[in-house]
Amino acid sequence: MSTRSHIGIWNEDGSPDVIYCHWDGYPSYNGAVLLHHYQDPEKIRELIALGDIGLLAESVKAAEGEHTFESPQEGVVVAYGRDRHEDGVDTKHFDTLEDFLREKGERFNLSADARMDEAMSAVNDSEDACLHPISDEN
């Protein structure tokens, strides 16, 4: 069974760009990967630019050799568009966090935000979900 989540980045105007992630969305996995491997704004943007993903991993880019949805390289993000050639999996833009949370109903909504110097998590199991820092303790 999967633990679905969303991963997003905050734009300068405060709006989020968001992708869906199918597997391991809980803070102790996806949150930890974001916290330890996605603090560089360029790398975060590369991840978000992939669109929806099946699995978050330490690296956005594959090393030389084959990397497909069916045969992924270890430690490399598995993306629906790039690796399985699916349509309709582009990054979604929302005007506000509230707009995003109203539309998306996953329990874990994770934010990689270099301006905050930490990965953040919104646990969406209440009406007033708010962002909480992800740490090695979650």
Q: What is the mean pLDDT of residues 74-101?
A: 91
Q: What is the mean pLDDT of residues 50-72?
A: 91
Q: What is the mean pLDDT of residues 68-90?
A: 93
Q: What is the mean pLDDT of residues 2-23?
A: 86
Q: Where residue 41 falls among pLDDT bands split at 50, 70, 90? A: confident
| Dist. CA 116–CA 73, nearest whole Å | 31
The whole-number pLDDT of residue 35 equals 83
| Dist. CA 25–CA 47, nearest whole Å | 15
Secondary structure letter of residue 76 according to DSSP:
B
Q: What six digits make up the tokens of 36? A: 């330890």
Q: What six digits make up the tokens of 127? A: 């009406």
Between residues 38 and 108, the one the model is more confident about = 38
Amino acid occupying residue 82: R
- φ and ψ at 81, to 5 degrees? -75, -55
Report the helix count and the strand count for the chain, using DSSP H and E.
4, 8
